[in-house]
Structure 1
Amino acid sequence: MQFGERIKQLREEKELLQRQLAASLEIDTPMYSKIERGERRAKREQVIALAQLLNINEEELLTIWLSDKIIENVGNEIAALAALKHAEQELKKKSK
């Protein structure tokens, strides 16, 4: 599931309007709508704020958001999966 789809699902489950979340994020409703539709990327601070507003684990929402960013950058590359596996190995080395 993509980031926009997930926040839309959570918003609808909580019966919130786009304008309510937009106001809490201090952005206009059309911009928020574009984030839900995947036409615009949310900023990291907005993702964290949305996690709090939608009462969802921050790490879960950040993971989906980062995944979208990765797909946007490498999704059309032939070697995308190999590059992701390599990146995973490098991240594991750095986390030790």
Structure 2
Amino acid sequence: MIGDKIRELREGENILLRQLAAQLDMDTALLSKMERGDRLFRKEDIIELAKIFHQSQEELLTLWLADKILKTTEGEAYIPQALSLALQTYNKNHSI
């Protein structure tokens, strides 16, 4: 999700992978892996990318966090049930 979004933003701005990698002070190969979903972005990277592309931090961080959740639970049984329980617990503990 987040990798696809970053690629879409980068290509929309006609920024080469190596140019964006330089702006983020990271290796081009690493950024390529992140865009493909083979490696996770760091939260700090997403915040910086939101600034570079003038995008909502909330939108990009939401995509990033959803990717983290999906990668963490990949291959596990009962994912929908676990996510539902986690959301119920979150809502209960964070209600006003």
TM-score over 0.5 for the alignment? yes
TM-score by length of 2: 0.92
How big is the shift at 1:69? 0.9
- Distance in 1 separating the partners of 2:73 and 2:39: 17
Q: Which amino acid in structure 2 is aligned with residue 23 of structure 1?
A: A
Percentage identity across aligned positions? 42
Cα distance in 2 for partners of 1:94, 1:59 equals 21
Q: Kindly tell me the number of residue pairs found equivalent between the two proteins.
A: 95
Instruction: Give 2:92's aligned residue.
Output: 93
CA shift digits 1:49-94 (9 cap, x unpaired): 0111111111111111111111111132221001001111111122
Which SS does the other structure have where 2:55 is aligned? coil
Q: Which residue of 2 aligns with 1:51?
A: 50
**CA RMSD for the aligned pairs?**
1.0
Q: What is the TM-score with the length of structure 1 in the denominator?
A: 0.92
Moved over 6 A (4+): none
Partner of 2:33: 34
Q: Does 1:24 align with 2:16?
A: no
